[in-house]
Amino acid sequence: MKPSDALRRHTVVCASTAGSLPLAVPQDEPAGERTRGCSRTTTYSTPEPPGDLGTLTELVIQRLLMGDEVAASKIGTGRPIDDPARERHELEMVRHQAHKLGLEPDGTTAFFHDQISASKIVQRGLFARWAAHGEQMPATRPDLNRIRTRLDHLSRDLLHELQTTQRLRTASGDCARQLAGAVRSGCVLHRLDGLHRQALETATRSVCGDVRGNSQPTLQ
């Protein structure tokens, strides 16, 4: 399946869950707080063109939003947010696939480690939100095994998009600017709240050049 086809599929899946899960509900936030490429405000405008990193950023956001479903599947069950065994398995698979696709293994693994960290930011934030506001608790409990199957498919789509954008991300000084634009567009398109924007900053910090994200500016 082509990443563009997968993108449409994941968008439809995400939209279909919006009625039962509190996906990206705007929240009031302190003035002046910022995340990379997307200010933490409740004001939304028309999204700008996402650019060459638009598909990669959209896939990252789709994975991020699936953290809502993971949280809904775990809340009240005693299942921990951290799952070291699964995380190790996923990162080992990613490293193996990176070799096959001609991607730099350490940078690719760092990128997926950031995806896992971002998902846990969402899960912890939602657990806290639901504990404080019980009326926002999800009405249904998604099947975690099905969610994980979709996450595995999404990981493959992300790997192929990393391959497609490899030159731009590693050899172009334009990466940070394009990423910032794609992030702003995604924030507007999905109406991301502060929790999800914070997670998106973590999820995108390894996209450009230095895997620690030092090449990416924080836009004010």
pLDDT of residue 107: 95
Q: Which pLDDT belongs to residue 21? A: 41
pLDDT for 57 equals 97
In a domain, 159, yes or no: yes
Q: Which of 210, 163, 207 is nearest to 60 (CA)?
A: 207
Q: What is the pLDDT of residue 46?
A: 65
Q: How many structural domains are present in the chain? A: 1
SS3 state of residue 136 = helix
- Residue 182 inside a domain? The answer is yes
Which residues are 34's β-sheet partners?
39
d(Cα 94, Cα 105) in Å, to the nearest integer? 8
Q: Is residue 114 part of a domain?
A: yes
| Domain assignment present for 27 | no
Q: What is the pLDDT along the chain (220 residues), one digit of tens a residue?
A: 454 454 444 444 343 333 334 333 334 343 333 344 565 554 556 667 788 999 999 999 999 999 999 999 999 999 999 999 999 999 999 999 999 999 999 999 999 999 999 999 999 999 999 999 999 999 999 999 999 999 999 999 999 999 999 999 987 789 999 999 999 999 999 999 999 999 999 999 999 974 334 333 333 2
Residue 216 maps to a domain: no
Host domain of residue 122:
3-11+48-204
Which pLDDT score is estimated for 43?
A: 52
What integer pLDDT is reported at residue 49 of this predicted model?
78
Phi, psi dihedrals of residue 179, rounded to the nearest 5°: -65, -45
Residue 13, pLDDT score: 38
Q: Is residue 155 part of a domain?
A: yes
The two counts, helices (H) then strands (E), for the chain are: 8, 2
Residue 104 lies in a domain: yes
Q: Which residue has the tokens 């998902």?
A: 119
- Rounded to a whole number of angstroms, the CA Rg of the chain reads 17
| Secondary structure class of 45 (helix, strand, coil) | coil
